[in-house]
Structure 1
Amino acid sequence: MINIVEVTEIEVYAYHGCMEEESRLGGKYLVDVAIETDFSKSAATDHLIDTIDYVVIRRIVMEEMTIRSKLIEHVGYRILKRFQNELGNVIKSRIKVRKLSPPIEGTVKEVAIIIEG
């Protein structure tokens, strides 16, 4: 059985970007996570240890988002690798990192990257 655990709109204030002002001022980010897994065991046992814990997902995202990167692609890749290395029973992950109100010319609500693996 294939199932998906989602945690959406994890809100983070972080300091990513290529411009020096982004390293000083920071900005708001939203991170969406979808992890494909098999939670038939946890559905049967009703034990947290038998599934992927939402709290751990959020913790990994928050830890990686605090490490400054020039590119959100880099941050997203680090999050994906942590999921693969630290969470049990991951079949596939999808991470979307959205940078709100990016400092680019014109009015842009957000920019985003999506990484799957």
Structure 2
Amino acid sequence: MAVVELENMSFYAFHGCFEQEQIIGTHFRVDLVFEYNSSVAEESDSIQDAVNYLSVYQTIKELFATPSHLLESLTRRILDTLMQEYPQMEYCKVKVTKLNPPLGGKLYGVCVTLDKKR
């Protein structure tokens, strides 16, 4: 069983409840952890037998193009899509962080983490 992590993926997008967020946008970070049975890929050394990290990244990037009001909704959409498109994933955890959210004070970010197991 392999544990794969795609860390600190960076996106600029227009998610949020406030009109300003939907017009100006802001920076987001995504951390992904997933598990899959990698025994065949370990022996074959072939991308065909593994979960393709580039493909996973592109899936997340495409999902970021559709605006959401809530981080919870965006995170759920990412998690559900990954589990559907990559059936070899046995466990998946997605963390989405909105950097410098407009909460009226100095704050690095606000994040939502969701996970799912088959």
With the shorter chain as reference, the TM-score category is: over 0.9
Q: Structure 1: which 5+ residue stretches go unaligned?
A: none
Correspondence for 1:92: 91
Paired with 2:60 and 2:52, the residues of 1 have a C-alpha distance of 13
Alpha-carbon deviation of 1:82? 1.0
Alpha-carbon deviation of 1:89? 0.9
Could you list the structure 1 runs, at least 4 aligned residues long, displaced by more than 2 angstroms after superposition: none
Alpha-carbon deviation of 1:88? 3.3
Task: State the TM-score, normalized to the length of structure 2.
Answer: 0.95
* Matching of residue 59 in structure 1 with residue 69 in structure 2: no
* Amino acid in the other structure paired with 1:31: V
| 8 Å Cα contact 1:14-1:29 kept in structure 2 | yes
* Amino acid in the other structure paired with 1:44: E
Correspondence for 1:79: 78
* Amino acid in the other structure paired with 1:80: L
* Amino acid in the other structure paired with 1:74: S
Paired with 2:35 and 2:113, the residues of 1 have a C-alpha distance of 15
Alpha-carbon deviation of 1:77? 0.6
Q: Structure 2: which 5+ residue stretches go unaligned?
A: none
* Matching of residue 105 in structure 1 with residue 89 in structure 2: no
Correspondence for 2:38: 39
RMSD: 0.8
Count of aligned pairs between the two proteins: 116
Correspondence for 1:15: 14
Paired with 1:25 and 1:72, the residues of 2 have a C-alpha distance of 17
| 8 Å Cα contact 1:52-1:88 kept in structure 2 | no
Correspondence for 2:114: 115
